[in-house]
Amino acid sequence: MAKVGAQLITQAAFAIRLQSTLVAIGQAGGPSNNTAMTTTVRASVLRSLILDTIIAQEAAAQGLAATDAQVQSEVDTEAAQAGGMSQLQSELAGAGGSIAQLRDEIRSQMNEQRLEDHFARGRAATVEQALAGGEAFAQAAMQYSDDTGTNGKGGDLGAITTTELKADDPKFAAAVTALAVGGYTKTAVRDAGGYDVIQVYAKTATSRSVRHILIAAPLPYTVRNRPAWFSEALFATVAQDCQRGAIHVYVKDAGADPCSGAPNLSPAPASASPAGG
């Protein structure tokens, strides 16, 4: 179907993802036997495979790629939760899926989550360097933070009471509690939302006023929450691969060649999978 560098995207891989996507659309009430829709879905699926291949190649270059054993371990966990492999196969089949489709979903999800986490750590380190170099915390928050609710106001979370802190993420709460007024975390705190650089700018007996800079790397990770900076990095890689002739699409009826115009690549399959993890 296509090739990215030396990596082939086979008809078999395309068929697995196309089937799971069409089933998901049908289960959501979408039209069936609609030629125009099917053509659009084929293009979307092939573009998603191209993007996932680029992600897998970069994950491998960083030593992060999901191995067959790791993917199988996740499948085995799913099977145990379902009551056995046969029961899992039956459940997947009932949802229009298969073990092959599940493996595809798991591998793509693991590769993207690991790569995004790797780059998020690097981005958080860049924030720490900027702060150490004298950049104002609020300015850095406006430039870097993925928290759209606070980045426009310099990362200001306002006053957080002691009671509210106890109900918050334990790692975030511990970091806030340990900071003196005017201090910030010199190493980003890994919490459920990602990598948090935290500053306490005021304190009372019952509350702490906090700013933060969140580099998004949510757990659990979903492609729906893919940070804008990560998407931009992926699209930049696509553009570079196109410029050096590394992407080839061999089918003419899918309309999925990202090098024929501006990239418009779909998320990985988890967002459209009938087995949705």
Within 8 A by CB and 6+ apart from 270, the residues are 105, 108, 109, 222, 223, 276, 277
- Tens digits of residue pLDDT in 161-174: 999 999 989 999 99
Indicate the pTM of the whole model: 0.82
Rounded to whole angstroms, how far apart are CA atoms 89 and 97? 8
- Tens digits of residue pLDDT in 103-157: 999 999 999 999 999 999 999 999 999 999 999 999 999 999 999 999 999 999 9
Residue 277 binned pLDDT confidence (cut-offs 50, 70, 90): very low
Strands 7-9 and 2-4: antiparallel
- Tens digits of residue pLDDT in 218-267: 988 887 888 889 988 888 888 899 899 999 998 877 666 788 754 444 44
Domains of the chain: 2-120+220-272 (1.10.4030), 135-216 (3.10.50.40)
